[in-house]
Amino acid sequence: MKLSLIEKEIIENSIRDIKDFPKPGIVFKDITTLLNDKEAYGVLMNHLYTRYKEYNLNFIAGIDARGFIFGAALAQMLGIGFVPIRKKGKLPYTTIAEKYSLEYGVDEVEIHIDAFSKVPHAKVLLIDDLIATGGTANAAAKLINQAGAECVESCFILGLTFLDGIKNLQENTPVYTVVEVH
């Protein structure tokens, strides 16, 4: 299911551009304005519900931290569980971790080792607010599979098509972006 032109416009118009943040030359896509716009957030969440209600998902996994906002709400709407994927050292129980490259270094995300243990071969949707280079998303998708589940799709509210993140992630899982930024 695709957004109507009106729905797409409502969502796009609710996202604020911040020039030169976090550094000169970057145009930051600020979703806080989407979150406090009840019409835009409602349009978005209803669209995601309609898209995923027939996927027979068992869990939504959200990437720290903005993926929690969309993922937990969508999981509740679908009547399924939510699993957080967090930065290293933030989860309180036994975890598995996956490293990924940054522009200048390496970072790591973790998931509880038993996140999907109650449902053998669980079908999981990965969600976050934005995909740029895809490092975090690739690591998160790998973690889902390492934890014994299947990452059936990765969903992002915004996809930056001028970077290679979408293309790179598609090697591991299908990718859906609600709005593309060219």
Percentages (nearest 5) of helix, strand, coil residues in the chain: 30, 35, 35
- Calculate Rg over the CA atoms of the chain: 16
66 is catalytic: yes
51 classed as catalytic: no
Catalytic pick from 66, 86, 98, 180? Answer: 66
Among 103, 150, 171, 180, the one annotated catalytic: 103
- Alpha carbons 14 and 128: distance in angstroms, whole number: 17
Cα–Cα distance measured from residue 10 to residue 155, given in angstroms and rounded to the nearest whole number? 19
Tell me if 74 sits within 8 A of 48, measured CB to CB.
yes
Residue 160: alpha-carbon gap to chain centroid: 13
Residues annotated as part of the active site = 66, 103
